[in-house]
Amino acid sequence: MNALIRGTVTVAAITAAAGAGLWAGQIGLLKLPLSHPTAMTETGHVATGAVIYYRDPDGKPFYSIAPKTSDNGAAYIAVHASEDVSFEPKSKAPEMRAASAKKIKYYRNPMGLPDTSPVPKKDSMGMDYIPVYEGDDSEDGSIKISPVKIQQTGVETVAVTRRVITRTIKAPGVVQPDERRVVVIAPKFNGYVVKVGPVTTGTRVKRGDVLATVFGQDVLDQAARLLVEQNAPSGLRMPSGAFVGATRRLQNLGVSDEFMDEVKRDRRVPNALIYRSPIDGEVMERNWSDGQGFKTGDVGFRIADHSVVWMTAEIAEDDIDSVRVGQAAKVMTRARPGRVFNGRVTVIYPYLTKETRTVPVRIELANPDLALLPNMYADVEIATGNTMVLTVPTSAVIDSGNRQIVLLDRRNGHYAPREVKLGRRGDGYAEVTSGLAEGDKVVSNGNFLIDAESNLQSALKTFGAPSITEASQ
């Protein structure tokens, strides 16, 4: 550069120098001359040589090949040939002086490839090989990085600690009724429907609402016998005074206590039997019409209580090992955008759906306002993990596919590669099952530089690094 400075300066050279100064000054690499108008260098020496260009007196990235003044009338400052431009930070000077006092063992590839040379050389891209001095490598496989490099590359270390790894598993799901909250109205006798109540499929009913009035000859026969037993002499009764025969038969026919109490109270047999809703819910199925006959077991109504519903989520085969009963789950539906329904895993079904390679998982959800409807699609998120495990940040892991490596901080700029076995991952952390102990420090940021050094050192341990003595022979 000094040769260029002492030569004839063209307009293009000045423009290039100005552009380079602007770029380097913006990123903090270029140390521009002092902003005061004296011809002194940064080391305190008097500037010598010809004036090669002029710079803005306020330190702005403006330059001129001829003397000129700024907008505020101040004269541009002359830059002499001896005022060389340096792209190296001042903090590197002690390191370079210390390195020059050491003996160079060999030169390594500047791109971190396993290639060394006993003499200075360039790679295929024209980059100089980097000298390796005595003491910069070690026999135990550790890597030594200078404090300046550590600071420049932003190397950070963290301690290996125990924490709960929470991993969110996402899966599609479908809303289904709670099987325990579904009832059917199915008579246990033959008969016909006298009249259906004011209910249809989809009607919301309450407990005790009239569903239908039916006639059944078997029911009326047993009701008449109940009256006979009620008027029977006391010697034919049970010691408690209860009537067993007709009462038990009516119960077996599914007749309510309300009907039997009415028979005993009014001392007459009603013409028909009234069916009422046993729960609050929605009529999911109505199969009866006025005058319709039915046989024993025919379903007249199906009613479901949807205040609590099930969400059946299809969990991928690879994720099912992380799911446990009792884990919290969040449900988001397409029909209710922005709303989150919270529930918990209650059942993991003991089979795999071979077509989709998924395992059904049941999540129980409260649904007081009936916002979740059966067969509604939803997106399910299950937060897995509830135990403390040994962890490292995932950014600390160098994964080659076959092995996972972390860089162990041995202090004073020494780092050693350590193979680890990993378990679950989540929240930016990975579980360590072997290879590290609690309290160890590993590199979590900037390990790309140390990784290159580590790969080089590994190659050197395998092939052997040439020494200066061998090179001279």
Domain ranges, ordered by start, for the chain: 2-80, 90-138+446-473, 156-163+388-443, 167-186+201-206+279-284+295-384, 187-200+207-278+285-294
C-alpha of 158 from chain center: 21
Rounded Cα–Cα distance for residues 415 and 407 (Å): 6
What's the CATH number for 156-163+388-443?
Answer: 2.40.420.20
Do 387 and 376 meet the contact criterion of CB atoms below 8 Å apart?
no
H helix or E strand, kind and range, residue 386:
none
pLDDT at position 71 is 84
Rounded Cα–Cα distance for residues 326 and 470 (Å): 68
Q: Side-chain half-sphere of 303: how many Cα atoms within 13 Å?
A: 26
What interhelical angle do 245-252 and 257-266 show, nearest 10? 140
- The per-residue pLDDT string of the chain (473 residues; one tens digit each, 9 = 90 and over) reads 343 333 333 333 444 444 444 334 444 434 444 434 445 554 455 777 778 788 888 877 787 888 888 888 889 888 877 664 544 444 444 545 555 566 787 787 776 566 778 888 888 878 888 787 766 555 555 667 667 767 766 788 889 989 888 888 999 999 999 999 999 999 999 999 999 999 999 999 999 999 999 999 999 999 999 888 877 665 555 554 455 688 899 999 999 888 999 998 988 999 899 999 999 999 999 999 999 999 999 999 999 999 999 999 999 998 998 899 999 999 999 999 999 999 999 999 999 999 999 999 999 999 999 999 999 999 999 988 777 889 999 888 888 778 888 888 888 777 888 889 998 887 788 889 988 889 899 988 877 666 665 554 554 454 444 443 344 44
pLDDT at position 163 is 87
Q: Name the token pair of 226.
A: 């109940």
What interhelical angle do 217-230 and 245-252 show, nearest 10? 160
C-alpha of 442 from chain center: 23
Burial class (CB in 10 A: 0-12, 13-18, 19+), 271: exposed
DSSP state of 38: S
Beta strands, E only, 240-387? 273-276, 281-286, 293-294, 301-304, 308-316, 328-333, 341-348, 358-366, 377-384
Closest to 107 in 3D by CA, of 97, 118, 96 = 118
SS3 at position 59: coil
- CATH 3.40.50.150 at 167-186+201-206+279-284+295-384, yes or no: no
pLDDT at position 20 is 41
- Neighbouring residues of 456: CB distance < 8 A, sequence distance ≥ 6: 108, 109, 112, 113, 114
Helix, strand, coil share (%) of the chain residues, nearest 5:
20, 35, 45
Separation of first and last alpha carbons in the chain: 35
Closest to 39 in 3D by CA, of 3, 84, 85, 77 = 77
pLDDT at position 50 is 77
